[in-house]
Structure 1
């Protein structure tokens, strides 16, 4: 079996090594010749150089592949993907060939490209998670589409991907470009979980006065049980690190947080689809707030420093609150995927989606089985819900910032307690005559229900 790979950056190089280690013969290309040389050197050190062919241009790559061809793209999202596709057409790819975009492309671009290139080649999409380590030893792979050509590469992707209890973490989750949408939401959940862990650290360190090492020990203890996850584990390790002078490593790191766009796309698409994911949106905004000093509105967004208040939090209640908040971050993401699938008729399989997240990816966690049980299971977590309310109240009372924690509590409270939407409906109709809907389902205006004093209007 021959496969070609275009793009030998960190992810491309490591995925290439994974592919040839699993038995594939790989033809690889990058515009930077040093990247190809580095990959070849790594393959030689593993004794796998005979399975790797580095080419100097796309024309040579296409000529080396037997038809029908299978070509993977691991290039930066955006115009470069189209540029490579056009170059491949000029190099001689045919309608029977399949080209799989494995980068972090916007799913809307994937939909457009499927139409744009439908008479030139089969264009498919696949999101990959796990970073360099995952790409090398087994990533999570969220593919989509029903294009001809999948049957050639699917068995190999199942081998290349991570596995959980004997099942591959590769799946075609749905139709069209749903694989990239699922990967986008995966990253949105990732944003929320990272911020939630950071807020829990913030509460323990600056709210209760614990040292980073003490917080690391708490996270480590949690990781030994049901809360075990990749992100919590690496956070514990990070917080345990010290300089040679025993200064906490985290204290040397600037507070400004970068982003590559997938979190923002998640928030934008949730708003467009009318699906509430407040925890995921809050995590994106939390990153934006760390960079306010660099914005044009910096002066309007810079306030005087305030004192905070020490609090005393029960660690068992904090653990319960963290557990429920984590589950709710995932559930919001799954609700967004389900809503988008319905809107675009993708037929996304949520069970397959969760299977791809069980190993290899950044948001893997032992409690994914609990998430899979759905809303019915979350409704049974009364003790955890009480702890979430209590901990959120204590956290806010400290004067510190907890955007994801508070948004998550607001999310579950809005969906499980009396709403205030009836007053907002009335307000909109009062000044704009937008109409109101009654409990009986009737649509009318306030004036139909009661006479309003014209002087007040």
Structure 2
């Protein structure tokens, strides 16, 4: 079978090698001829050059493919996707051809493009996670849509994707552009988990005066049990690295965190849909705070340095707190996917979604079975819940910053203890007459219940 791939950057090149290694014949193009030459060199080194055809333009690509055509796009999100789609339409693709956007595009753009190109070709979306290593040896692939063209490529993607206990980590998770939404939320969870691990490190390093190597040993011990995950594993490795002079590698790195937008999109969409994902939002804001000195408001956001205190931590309680906080990051993400699926009528299958995350992707973890068990399992974690409260309190008392840890404790506390929302709603009605709802279900105003002095108002 022939498949075409446009975009031979890091992800594109590695996915191309994965595709031809699995037996596909690939027609590949990149506007940078050096990228094509590099891919061909890699294919020759593997003895697979006969399965690869590098073309000089999109017209040549379309001519080489036998219809119905299957074309994958791995180009930067935004205007370039539309530019390539337009050029492919002009080059002669037709209604039976499928073009799959495999980049980190905004799902809203995917919805628009499906309508825009519906009379020209089948436009589909698929989120891919796993970085260069995953793309090369087996990524997580979150596809969406019911286009007939999927039937041609789906069996191959099941082979190309990572596998977990014999099951492929490729799935069509839902309708429309839900694949890109699921990938976006995957990245939002990724932000939260990365920040949470960094906060555990901060608490152990500065709160208990442990060295990076000592923290690495703790993380490594956690990874050998039920908490085994890709992110915890690489964090342990990073913290164990030292220069030839014995200086911890982590101490040489500037304290500014970059971002490519998917975490921000997760926060924005959660706010638009009215679904609370405070751990994910806090992780986005934590990255922003590391870059405040580069903003226009830098002077207004620069304060004098403050001393911090050491804390006495029970490592077993810290592990329990981290366990629950990690599970809650996933649960918030799944709640957002479920809410979006309901709002957009995508019919997203959460079990298929979790299956794509079990191997190959950045947020893969052995405890995803616990995530799948849902709220009932979270409710059974009494020891971990007590540990999260205790550890969060000690962390805050140190004077250090723990945005995701504290947001997660606030999240679970808000959902499991009496709320203060009745006073806030009363305030809204007091100054804006927005109305209140009593316990009996009656909709009214404060003035219907009590007499309020107009002088105070």
TM-score range, shorter chain: over 0.9
Q: Are 1:50 and 2:44 counterparts?
A: no
The whole-number CA distance in structure 2 between the counterparts of 1:147 and 1:137 is 27
Deviations 1:267-304, CA, capped at 9 Å, x for gaps: 00000000000000000000000000000000000000
**What residue in structure 2 maps to residue 338 of structure 1?**
338
**What residue in structure 2 maps to residue 237 of structure 1?**
237
Misfit runs of 4+, over 3 Å = none
**What residue in structure 2 maps to residue 383 of structure 1?**
383
Q: Cα RMSD (Å) of the superposition? A: 0.4
Partner of 1:110: helix, strand, or coil? helix
The whole-number CA distance in structure 1 between the counterparts of 2:404 and 2:94 is 48
Deviations 1:233-285, CA, capped at 9 Å, x for gaps: 00000000000000000000000000000000000000000000000000000
Deviations 1:418-453, CA, capped at 9 Å, x for gaps: 000000010000000000111122211011111112
User: 1:16-35 residue pairs with structure 2 within 5 A?
Assistant: 16-35=16-35
**What residue in structure 1 maps to residue 132 of structure 2?**
132
**What residue in structure 1 maps to residue 84 of structure 2?**
84
Once the two structures are TM-superposed, the CA of residue 64 in structure 1 deviates from its matched residue by 0.4
Deviations 1:81-100, CA, capped at 9 Å, x for gaps: 00000000111100100000
Deviations 1:45-78, CA, capped at 9 Å, x for gaps: 0000000000000000000000000000000000
**What residue in structure 2 maps to residue 403 of structure 1?**
403
The whole-number CA distance in structure 2 between the counterparts of 1:268 and 1:454 is 39
**What residue in structure 1 maps to residue 286 of structure 2?**
286
**What residue in structure 2 maps to residue 153 of structure 1?**
153
**What residue in structure 2 maps to residue 424 of structure 1?**
424
Q: Are 1:254 and 2:258 counterparts?
A: no
The whole-number CA distance in structure 1 between the counterparts of 2:102 and 2:442 is 49
The whole-number CA distance in structure 2 between the counterparts of 1:83 and 1:437 is 52
Unaligned runs of 5+ in 2: none
Aligned pairs, number: 457
The whole-number CA distance in structure 1 between the counterparts of 2:221 and 2:441 is 51
The whole-number CA distance in structure 2 between the counterparts of 1:177 and 1:238 is 36
Once the two structures are TM-superposed, the CA of residue 379 in structure 1 deviates from its matched residue by 0.1
Once the two structures are TM-superposed, the CA of residue 14 in structure 1 deviates from its matched residue by 0.2
Once the two structures are TM-superposed, the CA of residue 189 in structure 1 deviates from its matched residue by 0.2
**What residue in structure 1 maps to residue 226 of structure 2?**
226
**What residue in structure 2 maps to residue 96 of structure 1?**
96
**What residue in structure 1 maps to residue 186 of structure 2?**
186
Once the two structures are TM-superposed, the CA of residue 455 in structure 1 deviates from its matched residue by 2.2
Partner of 1:207: helix, strand, or coil? coil
**What residue in structure 2 maps to residue 367 of structure 1?**
367
Once the two structures are TM-superposed, the CA of residue 456 in structure 1 deviates from its matched residue by 1.8
Partner of 2:206: helix, strand, or coil? helix
Deviations 1:90-117, CA, capped at 9 Å, x for gaps: 1110010000000000000000000000
The whole-number CA distance in structure 1 between the counterparts of 2:90 and 2:453 is 73
**What residue in structure 2 maps to residue 357 of structure 1?**
357
Once the two structures are TM-superposed, the CA of residue 341 in structure 1 deviates from its matched residue by 0.3
The whole-number CA distance in structure 1 between the counterparts of 2:374 and 2:438 is 30
**What residue in structure 2 maps to residue 63 of structure 1?**
63
The whole-number CA distance in structure 2 between the counterparts of 1:140 and 1:96 is 26
The whole-number CA distance in structure 2 between the counterparts of 1:440 and 1:102 is 51
Deviations 1:142-172, CA, capped at 9 Å, x for gaps: 0000012000000000000000000000000
User: 1:431-450 residue pairs with structure 2 within 5 A?
Assistant: 431-450=431-450
The whole-number CA distance in structure 1 between the counterparts of 2:261 and 2:437 is 38
Deviations 1:380-407, CA, capped at 9 Å, x for gaps: 0000000000000000000000000000
Partner of 1:235: helix, strand, or coil? helix
The whole-number CA distance in structure 1 between the counterparts of 2:21 and 2:441 is 61
The whole-number CA distance in structure 2 between the counterparts of 1:84 and 1:196 is 39
Q: Tell me the TM-score normalized by structure 2.
A: 1.00
Unaligned runs of 5+ in 1: none
The whole-number CA distance in structure 1 between the counterparts of 2:442 and 2:364 is 46
Deviations 1:106-143, CA, capped at 9 Å, x for gaps: 00000000000000000000000000000000000000
Q: Are 1:307 and 2:324 counterparts?
A: no
The whole-number CA distance in structure 2 between the counterparts of 1:369 and 1:427 is 43
The whole-number CA distance in structure 2 between the counterparts of 1:62 and 1:22 is 22
Which has the higher mean CA deviation after the structures are superposed, 444-453 or 63-72? 444-453
